[in-house]
Amino acid sequence: MQSQNQKRVDSLLQVASQQTDTTQIITYAMLWAEHLYVDPLASKPYLDSTLVLAKRLNNKKFIARTTNYLGVYHNMTSQYEASIPIYNDVIKMYTELNDMTQVCAAMNNKANSFRSLGRYNECLEVHMESLKLKEEIGDTEESIAASYWNIGNIQGDIGNYDISNDYYNKAKVIYEKLDLKDDIASININLAINLKGQKEYEEAKALFIETMPYYIEKNYNNDLAGLYDNLGWIYAQQDSLQLAEDYYMKSLAISQNYGETSLIGLNQRHLGELYNKKGEYRKALRYIKDALKNAEETGTRKKMIGDLLEMSKAYAGLGRYKKAYEFHTDYHKLHDEILGEENIKKMNELEVQYQTEKKEKELILKQKELQLLEERKQKAENEKLFLLISLIGALALAIAIVYGLRQKMKRNKIEREKLNSDLEFKEKELTTHALHLAHKNEVLLDLKSQLKELKSESPNARSYQKVINTINLDINNDNNWEQFRNYFEDVHKDFNSKVMRNYPDVSNNDLRLMSLLKMNLSSKEIANILNISIEGVKKARYRLRKKLNLSSEESLQELVIEL
């Protein structure tokens, strides 16, 4: 494959030496693209040539295009902060050229830089703005799929896996239709990363291993390095520490050779995390320090969260508790700044706003179609009225009756649509509340676990226990559930009474579980809301099946949803 690529590079170089004007720019751009994913640093001289030629010719279209290439190069080499003003210039250039398709593409690239910097609100806002613009101008399916992909990425980053998977699968349907194998492979990797986040390790591992030969065949070095890093992380969670170390080292070797700077930092942190698990704290500290330095240099603030946490663990393992506490404090501060409840809420509101606006546009379109049909129908009736003038008395009465009925039907329809709209809004409120409750409990449980670790190592255990007790009170606070129940009953009226009428043996805890199943939440989300483990959710489902007298062939989920 490398031999074939070199022949192509030599051929393009020979062609470029004989060209002038814009054709030479295009050839150098092809040379840049030929190297970009294999060796980004080696692509830079060809990119510089495209920029120089475009400016020399004073061709605004090619200046915009080659400037966008420069932004892409900065992203590939982890220079995310520097790429943002470049994309702002590109957006301005294409706006002046009235090329809104390329404006959308530059907005996507800018949003991805925000994502790498951990500026998630700005990232999602720009992606949503780009998607709306694409829908307005009727952009290509492939371009729409790219927005779905990017929004799936950011939703996955903040743990909204169901929303993320929905966007990924919408993108995948388009890529399969267009037979875009590179994009299908990338989407599969992202779905695997979500599975990893949901602790479905075997399914995630199978998807990574399935995609591995494709990246090796295509010589996509940075993608392969990321894949190896993900496999290493999964094996580390499964306590296959030697396998994990092997994959991390393979990933690090590729990253160091091909210029993926931010991935180098991620590899180093994961190696540090591994050595923390092994109890090799000094070795862990060396890798994590390099990772933290890398994150600071590239501005990848989300990666910095994990670096600070692992640094705290390494110092604690060495018995340097003051340093451990300082890094742990920095970790919580940055975590709350990037992934705090307020930020997540704002991002969820952006998704709700987009879906609401989309439905409103569809409703307006349907209303216009109905209005057109109504006008055609009225015209036909008027023609019939003219032809049947002799029966005007009887016909006038009939028309009055029909008109009255139609008006009543129209009013009924509007009322139904309003009720449906109100119900959809309440359903979104309910889902958002449930996800916020699940996320809050998850964060509190994680904090509680960390406090217990600190408590066991601290002479001031009573102070830690007071904080732990406060967390327990908040997790078990019935007011949280009461608020959820009020939202739920607004959306699913008479659900509880139907359950108690049909299944009188069901307990209050069973009723809570059935309410969460009715919302089609994942086992992890149910576990967080009920403050039990995922295994506890499985046991609760098993006990509920017995109470409902369900056979092994019958689905508990379907029964609850149909109630």
Nearest to residue 102, comparing CAs of 70, 130, 72?
130
Residue 83 pLDDT class (50, 70, 90 cuts): very high
pLDDT at 339: 66
pLDDT reading at 458 higher than 80: no
Residue 276 pLDDT class (50, 70, 90 cuts): very high
Nearest to residue 107, comparing CAs of 65, 64, 167, 147?
147
Which range of 16-25, 112-121, 126-135 scores highest in mean pLDDT? It is 126-135
What letter does residue 492 receive in the DSSP assignment? S
How far is Cα 111 from Cα 147, in angstroms, rounded to an integer?
10
pLDDT reading at 307 higher than 70: yes
**CA torsion angle 305 311 312 314 (round to 10):** 150
Residue 187 pLDDT class (50, 70, 90 cuts): very high
Nearest to residue 217, comparing CAs of 260, 244, 188, 185?
185
Q: Which amino acid is at 145?
A: A
The larger pLDDT score, comparing residue 67 to residue 409, is at: 67
- Percentage of the chain lying above the pLDDT 70 cut: 85
CB 531 within 8 A of CB 524: no
How far is Cα 153 from Cα 124, in angstroms, rounded to an integer?
10
- For 494-563, which CATH class? mainly alpha
Q: Which amino acid is at 453?
A: E
How far is Cα 191 from Cα 386, in angstroms, rounded to an integer?
64
C-alpha atoms less than 13 angstroms from C-alpha of 5 in its C-beta half-sphere: 16
DSSP string, 288-345: HHHHHHHHHHHT-HHHHHHHHHHHHHHHHHTT-HHHHHHHHHHHHHHHHHHH-HHHHH
Residue-wise pLDDT for 348-399, tens only, equals: 666 666 666 666 666 676 777 777 777 777 777 777 777 777 677 667 676 7
Question: Mean pLDDT in the chain?
Answer: 83
How far is Cα 448 from Cα 454, in angstroms, rounded to an integer?
10
Sole residue written with tokens 């946490």: 309
CB 335 within 8 A of CB 306: no
Mark 488-513 as b/e (b = at least 16 C-beta within 10 Å): beebbeebbeebeeebeebeeebbbb
How far is Cα 14 from Cα 28, in angstroms, rounded to an integer?
11
pLDDT at 360: 66
pLDDT reading at 341 higher than 60: no
pTM for this structure?
A: 0.51
How far is Cα 316 from Cα 230, in angstroms, rounded to an integer?
26
How far is Cα 547 from Cα 541, in angstroms, rounded to an integer?
10
Residue-wise pLDDT for 41-65, tens only, equals: 888 888 888 888 888 888 899 899 9
pLDDT at 89: 95
pLDDT reading at 6 higher than 80: no
How far is Cα 76 from Cα 441, in angstroms, rounded to an integer?
37
pLDDT at 121: 86
